[in-house]
């Protein structure tokens, strides 16, 4: 597989300190015969004046896609950036990866899929770094401040990824970075099977017909097939088996009433049970086009009602205990259908009036 290069955002490059990545230029002006050569090796120091001189001389500076993670980490470690700026950087990069998978006009060759997975992994590494000192409540606040609203599927994938990292850490406080990345990758890609579901159904506002709902319900299986194609490889260090389990089982319910296989309890991979909590929480607390968001206090109540049915009691207990150090559960009368599907953006939660 030939290396892929991208143009970095000048504002996100690191200046006046040793670079954690290499800089390249394209020495060929013929598009089909691009030839990248290294102009500044890792460890050297770049000044703003150097960068401007290089741009002037060579027009464009590039980074190798393989070093995108270092580039993102570097941008996030930059002390001059606010938390919101850091998340915005990571979110926009994450969206570009998801868009490249969801862009149906693009030929999704195995090379493209693998390259995108490498990019996703690096973005998720950035999430792991970003949230390492966060608690769930702080992460929820951050997500609330930054939601893009019109990018539901992408936003949701990013949010679920970050929640998965933190919920996994509640269970395994000493989790290694790569274990956190696996949890985050699974969360990030949990709805990837939707690339095989028609946009007409995905974007339909209002009630879905039985056939349409049956079609949507195929997304876990589609995702598993997509990630099982011959030649698709997990990026270095990550475990495709864990990611596939999350993708395939995130709609299984603890009591065995979910889909696709109606398995329950510990037959559902632990990471998929974590993803189910993250998925549910994000779906009901994020404002969507046709549905208002619940407060954390209300969400805790709604989620607790599904413990043992939908959600794993032990995982929820940890989540609940952690959340209630900051929030008090609030009883709310909410009409939530037994088949409520957190991955369906337009399903409306109906509030009932308190007596």
Among 9-17, 36-44, 110-118, 191-199, the segment contacting Fe ion (CB under 5 A): 191-199
**Segment 275 to 294, residues that bind Fe ion, using CB under 5 A:** 279
Which residue lies nearer to Fe ion by CB, 302 or 343? 343
Which residue lies nearer to Fe ion by CB, 129 or 280? 280
CB of 190 to Fe ion, least distance (A): 6
Q: Is 252 in the site for Fe ion (CB under 5 A)?
A: no
Which residue lies nearer to Fe ion by CB, 163 or 316? 163
CB of 285 to Fe ion, least distance (A): 13
Beta bridge partners of 291: 288
Q: Is 94 in the site for Fe ion (CB under 5 A)?
A: no
Among 88-96, 130-138, 253-261, 335-343, the segment contacting Fe ion (CB under 5 A): 335-343
Q: How many residues bind Fe ion (CB under 5 A)?
A: 3
CB of 342 to Fe ion, least distance (A): 5
Q: Is 191 in the site for Fe ion (CB under 5 A)?
A: yes
CB of 86 to Fe ion, least distance (A): 24
CB of 223 to Fe ion, least distance (A): 8
C-alpha 314 chain-centroid distance: 24
CB of 210 to Fe ion, least distance (A): 18
Which residue lies nearer to Fe ion by CB, 67 or 191? 191
User: Which residues of this chain interact with Fe ion, rule CB under 5 A?
Assistant: 191, 279, 343
């Amino acid at each position: 597989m030939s290396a892929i290069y991208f143009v970095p955002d000048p504002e996100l490059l690191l200046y006046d300190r040793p670079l954690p990545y290499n800089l390249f230029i394209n020495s060929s002006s013929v598009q089909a015969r691009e030839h990248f050569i290294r102009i500044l090796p890792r460890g050297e120091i770049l000044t703003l004046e150097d960068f401007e001189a290089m741009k002037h001389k060579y027009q464009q500076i590039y980074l190798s896609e393989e070093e995108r993670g270092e580039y993102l980490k570097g941008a996030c470690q930059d002390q001059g950036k606010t938390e919101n700026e850091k998340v915005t950087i990571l979110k926009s990069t994450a969206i570009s990866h998801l868009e490249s998978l969801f862009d149906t006009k693009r030929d999704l060759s195995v090379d493209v899929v693998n390259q995108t997975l490498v990019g996703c992994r690096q973005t998720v590494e950035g999430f792991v770094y970003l949230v390492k000192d966060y608690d769930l409540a702080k992460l929820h606040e951050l997500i609330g401040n930054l939601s893009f609203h019109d990018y539901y599927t992408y936003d949701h994938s990013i949010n679920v990824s970050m929640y998965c990292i933190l919920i996994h850490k509640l269970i395994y406080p000493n989790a290694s970075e790569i274990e956190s990345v696996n949890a985050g990758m699974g969360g990030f890609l949990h709805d990837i099977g939707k690339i095989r579901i028609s946009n007409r159904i995905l974007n339909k506002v209002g009630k879905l017909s039985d056939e349409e709902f049956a079609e949507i319900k195929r997304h876990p299986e589609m995702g598993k097939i997509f990630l099982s194609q011959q030649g698709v490889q997990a990026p270095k260090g990550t475990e495709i088996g864990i990611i596939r389990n999350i993708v395939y089982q995130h709609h299984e319910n603890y009591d065995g009433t979910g889909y696709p296989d109606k398995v329950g309890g510990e037959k559902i991979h632990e990471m998929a049970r974590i993803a189910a909590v993250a998925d549910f929480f994000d779906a009901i607390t994020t404002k969507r086009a046709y549905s208002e968001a619940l407060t954390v206090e209300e969400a805790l109540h709604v989620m607790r009602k599904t413990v043992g049915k939908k959600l794993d009691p032990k995982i929820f207990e940890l989540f609940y205990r952690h959340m209630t150090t900051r929030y008090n559960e609030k009883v709310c009368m909410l009409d939530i259908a037994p088949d409520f599907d957190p991955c369906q953006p337009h399903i409306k939660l109906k509030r009932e009036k308190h007596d």
